[in-house]
């Protein structure tokens, strides 16, 4: 590799580091995205132009054109509500790419300068084995996450007897297959390694409940990064190693932070069954229990006469694309002298930062948006908590019902507000499949209907 290529890769790596730094805050997230785009453009151009081993442009250029075209179409058509499953789908492609590169290197090691068939360097065998195993786990795990987020598979945890021993056995089998592959360079061992890893990825994610899916998406992001780093060693590409390590470590750190915020164990995320053990103990149906039902006019009257309103957005807001109508409603309240703030739960929505992105799209001021630990104590002094589609993250069962699958997860204490206005289409349970006791509290007023239309109707009543 030429010195110019090494320098260009260094610049690209710096861009990726700046991208992660920018994405750590909503204020600098746009700048972070630009750094990431610049770094990727430099990386691709450097690989195609300055790396002498890269040939066969008649295959590479059409592949880039096809992939870029698909990406452009997806970016134009995708809805904000579908971003979580899109991210999961893209993670699966990264994992599949790692498996394909490892297979290519195993079949033709001379092309990668790692030896000859039957005489591959042991270090390279370990690298490609780890890359292939992690990539295969990422591939099937991400497909399951996509299916759950898309609604193709139930969001409830799917558990079965001896689940954890089976996963542990498959993990041990993977280690044994890696040893066999490195010792005898057996093609059968390599094929079995991939098949077992594919099965393990499927079994790890299947028992994880919908309420915990944001953490799973983050962890799968970490897996895809480590898979890319492993393949970077096989390709002897320093930038791929650095980039994969950045993605892997940042995803792991984010998953740990989210697990800590949810009072969950990071080990359970890695080993599977996260939040799934108590799935069968979810609350039953509401039956004939009564709730207080109100209208947009009632909500407008209550909030107009309030001193402080805390808005809690959730996936229901995302589905209805109600963020712009919500911003209009909050602006009218502020004109009336009402103090309006937004409370964001770490796992609200279907991926980390989902609500922050939607609110930023509606130009909600950053200084009005607060995380759980910053605002939770303020609900006791708030006149109104306006909950728009956030179900599981406001459910008091997380604090009061040890049998609940969300028990132990810190929630937004909206029930402490003087009045809770809950916007929801129906009395259906949340993504975790747990009935929300908040619906039946004396200080809760249910506002049934589409979230966007409800916000628009409230705004009309305020105007």
For the ranges 4-8, 176-180, 394-398, 406-410, the lowest mean pLDDT is seen at: 406-410
More confident residue, 157 or 82: 82
Helical H segments across 24-121, by residue range: 29-50, 57-77, 83-107
E strand or H helix at 339, and its extent? strand 339-344
Q: Does residue 430 register a pLDDT over 70?
A: no
> How many Å separate Cα 280 from the centre of its chain?
25
Portion of the chain with pLDDT greater than 70, in percent: 89
Same domain (yes/no): 106, 212: yes
E strand or H helix at 302, and its extent? helix 296-304
To the nearest 10 degrees (0 to 180), the angle between helices 29-50 and 57-77 is: 160
Q: How many structural domains are present in the chain? A: 3
- Residue 282 domain-assigned? no
CATH code where residue 366 lies: 3.40.50.1220
User: Torsion angle of alpha carbons 308, 370, 404, 286, nearest 10°?
Assistant: 40
Establish whether 331 is a catalytic residue.
Answer: no
Q: Does residue 178 register a pLDDT over 90?
A: yes
* Residue 212 confidence (pLDDT): 67
Q: Which of 55, 75, 95 is the last residue of a domain?
A: 75
Of the candidates 392, 401, 413, 457, the residue annotated as catalytic is 392
- Cβ atoms within 10 Å, residue 128: 32
CB 145 within 8 A of CB 216: yes
* Residue 14 confidence (pLDDT): 93
Distance (Å, whole) CA 325 – CA 303: 16
- Residue 191 domain-assigned? yes
Q: Which of 31, 49, 75 is the last residue of a domain?
A: 75
More confident residue, 210 or 227: 227
* Residue 278 confidence (pLDDT): 43
- Residue 283 domain-assigned? no
97 strand-pairing partners: none
Same domain (yes/no): 337, 449: yes
- The two structure tokens encoding residue 241: 């190693």
More confident residue, 130 or 235: 130
For the ranges 123-137, 155-169, 380-394, the lowest mean pLDDT is seen at: 155-169
Q: Does residue 303 register a pLDDT over 70?
A: yes
* Residue 17 confidence (pLDDT): 92
Same domain (yes/no): 102, 236: yes
Task: Report DSSP state, residue 293.
Answer: B
Same domain (yes/no): 17, 143: no
Give the model's confidence band at 283: pLDDT under 50 very low, under 70 low, under 90 confident, else very high: very low
Identify which of 314, 394, 395 has the alpha carbon closest to the alpha carbon of residue 350: 314
Identify which of 221, 208, 207 has the alpha carbon closest to the alpha carbon of residue 256: 221
Same domain (yes/no): 301, 253: no
Same domain (yes/no): 196, 340: no
For the ranges 33-42, 273-282, 344-353, 441-450, the lowest mean pLDDT is seen at: 273-282
Same domain (yes/no): 59, 96: no
- Residue 112 domain-assigned? yes
Distance (Å, whole) CA 169 – CA 372: 39
Q: Kindly report the CA angle at 25 between 22 and 27, in degrees rounded to 5?
A: 90
- Residue 291 domain-assigned? no
Same domain (yes/no): 61, 167: no
What are the tens digits of pLDDT across the range 139-161? 998 898 888 877 787 766 677 77
Distance (Å, whole) CA 367 – CA 386: 18
342 strand-pairing partners: 311, 369
- The two structure tokens encoding residue 112: 């990668």
- Residue 170 domain-assigned? yes
Rg (CA), the chain: 25
* Residue 284 confidence (pLDDT): 44
Mean pLDDT (whole number) for 202-225 = 79
Same domain (yes/no): 70, 102: no
- Residue 303 domain-assigned? yes
* Residue 366 confidence (pLDDT): 86
Q: Does residue 280 register a pLDDT over 70?
A: no
Same domain (yes/no): 109, 214: yes
Q: Which of 248, 277, 306 is the last residue of a domain?
A: 277
* Residue 210 confidence (pLDDT): 62
Give the model's confidence band at 277: pLDDT under 50 very low, under 70 low, under 90 confident, else very high: very low
Distance (Å, whole) CA 457 – CA 463: 10
Give the model's confidence band at 391: pLDDT under 50 very low, under 70 low, under 90 confident, else very high: confident
**What is the overall mean pLDDT for the chain?**
84
* Residue 195 confidence (pLDDT): 96
Structural domain range at position 29:
1-75
Same domain (yes/no): 171, 213: yes
* Interacting residues of 370 by C-beta distance below 8 A, sequence separation 6+: 341, 342, 343, 344
Same domain (yes/no): 71, 87: no
């Amino acid at each position: 590799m030429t010195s110019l290529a090494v320098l260009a890769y260094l610049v690209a790596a710096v861009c990726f580091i700046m991208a992660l730094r920018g994405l750590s805050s909503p204020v600098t997230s746009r700048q972070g995205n630009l750094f990431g785009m610049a770094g990727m453009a430099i990386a691709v151009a450097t690989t195609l132009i300055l790396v002498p081993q890269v040939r066969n442009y008649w295959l590479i250029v059409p592949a880039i054109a096809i992939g870029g075209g698909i990406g452009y179409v997806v970016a134009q058509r995708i809805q904000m509500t579908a971003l979580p499953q899109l991210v999961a789908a893209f993670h699966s492609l990264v994992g599949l790419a790692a498996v394909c590169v490892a297979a290519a290197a195993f079949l033709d090691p001379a092309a990668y300068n790692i030896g000859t068939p039957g005489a591959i360097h042991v270090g390279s065998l370990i690298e490609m084995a780890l890359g292939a195993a992690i990539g295969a786990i990422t591939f099937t795990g991400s497909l399951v996450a996509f299916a759950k987020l898309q609604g193709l598979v139930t969001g409830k945890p799917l558990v079965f007897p001896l689940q954890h021993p089976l996963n542990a056995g498959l993990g041990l089998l993977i280690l044994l297959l890696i040893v066999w592959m490195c010792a005898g360079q057996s093609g059968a061992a390599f094929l079995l390694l991939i098949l077992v890893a594919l099965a393990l990825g499927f079994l790890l994610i299947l028992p994880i409940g919908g309420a915990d899916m944001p953490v799973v998406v983050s962890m799968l992001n970490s897996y895809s990064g480590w898979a890319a780093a492993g393949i970077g060693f096989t390709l002897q590409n320093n930038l791929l190693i650095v980039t994969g390590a950045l993605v892997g470590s940042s995803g792991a750190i984010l998953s740990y932070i989210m697990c800590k915020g949810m009072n969950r164990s990071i080990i359970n995320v890695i080993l599977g069954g996260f939040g799934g053990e108590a799935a069968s103990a979810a609350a039953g149906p509401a039956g004939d229990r009564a709730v207080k039902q109100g209208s947009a006019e009632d909500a407008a009257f209550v909030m107009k006469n309030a001193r402080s309103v805390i808005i809690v957005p959730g996936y229901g807001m995302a589905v209805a694309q109600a963020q712009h109508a919500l911003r209009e409603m909050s602006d009218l309240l502020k004109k009336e002298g009402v103090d309006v703030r937004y409370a964001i739960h770490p796992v609200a929505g279907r991926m980390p930062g989902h609500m922050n992105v939607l609110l930023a799209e509606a130009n909600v001021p950053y200084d009005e948006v607060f995380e759980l630990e910053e605002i939770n104590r303020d609900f006791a002094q708030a006149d109104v908590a306006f909950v728009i589609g956030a179900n599981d993250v406001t459910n008091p069962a997380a604090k009061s019902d040890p049998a609940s699958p969300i028990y132990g997860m810190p929630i937004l204490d909206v029930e402490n507000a003087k009045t809770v206005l809950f916007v929801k289409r129906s009395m259906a349970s949340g993504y975790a499949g747990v009935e929300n006791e908040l619906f039946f509290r004396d200080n809760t007023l249910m506002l049934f209907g589409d979230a966007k239309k409800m916000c628009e109707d409230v705004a009309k009543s305020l105007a």
